[in-house]
Amino acid sequence: MYGVREWWRDMAGELAGLVLPADCAGCGLPRTGLCGRCAGLLHGARAAVRRVRPHPPPPGLPAVYAALPYADEARAVLLAHKERGALRLAAPLGSVLAASVRAAADAAAAAGRPGPPVTDAEPLLLVPVPSARRAVAARGHDPVRRIALAAAGELRRGGRPARVLAVLRQRRSVADQAGLTARQRAANLAGALEVPAGAGRLAAEGPVVVVDDLVTTGASLAEAARALSAAGGRVVGAAVVAAAER
């Protein structure tokens, strides 16, 4: 729940970004926020969304769309937002994610999937992959949910109904994914997520796009899609800001 403590923490971060000098989160040039070049990189990425296919793909992985490779400035910006609490980066990252979400929904509509059609008038449900509670506590915020909220706002401003539905939760602890192979990641996450009782009906209210900041092996997205489908959700795709080259 977003309470007074979280509001003060976010406000402090915003004020610090306004009054304290900072380097560009992408390239490191002395600048408050993003420099023009890095801001342009994120802006231009919205027109470069593509489908990405981790190899080997984990079972149950929906079609995944990404706008950027996870390298150089894009990697630096994502890490600054996630690990260093650069909260002002949520807006430009959310704009990029919105483009990936739109591509996933449009591809699902064009594919003629079984079940109700995906239309522009139907609200998209953006379901973020949840972070572990200890990670959220250590970072002081939930980066994927924050970017998802910014993406939903961008979609609505563009005339596409959308809202964030944070219904996934971890039902057991998982090991740190860093350094694990694709097979080990899939085994680590198998059955790790669930939709709480009573929340399944919310996931069934519209087409679901699973969202994350980054895709590597696809194990997290596949597990999220499995849990949502098991609860009655209609998963039509997945969207991320960036994809790691493997």
Bridging pattern class, strands 50-52 and 64-66: antiparallel
* pLDDT of residue 183 exceeding 60: yes
Helix axes 143-157, 90-111, angle to 10 degrees: 70
pLDDT in tens, 64-102: 999 999 999 999 999 999 988 889 999 999 999 999 999
The residues, any chain, with a CB within 8 Å of residue 62's CB and separated by 6 or more, are 210, 221, 222, 225, 235, 236, 237, 238
**Polymer length in residues for the chain:** 246
Written as six digits, the tokens of 232 are 């009655």
Confidence grade of residue 4 (pLDDT, cut at 50, 70, 90)? very low
Which of the two residues, 232 and 31, has the higher pLDDT score?
232
| Beta strands at 169-170 and 64-66: parallel, antiparallel or unpaired | unpaired
Q: Rounded mean pLDDT of the chain? A: 84
Lowest-pLDDT choice from 174-183, 205-214, 229-238: 174-183
Helix (H, G, I), strand (E, B) or coil at 207: strand
pLDDT of residue 31: 52
Long-range contacts of 45-53 (CB under 8 A, 24+ apart): 45/74, 45/96, 45/99, 46/95, 46/96, 46/98, 46/99, 47/99, 49/99, 49/100, 49/102, 49/103, 51/103, 51/107, 52/215, 52/243
**pLDDT tens-digit map of 137-164:** 888 889 999 999 999 999 999 999 999 9
Cβ-count burial of 11 within 10 angstroms (0-12 exposed, 13-18 middle, 19+ buried)?
exposed
Longest Cα–Cα distance of the chain, Å, equals: 53
pTM, rounded to two decimals: 0.84
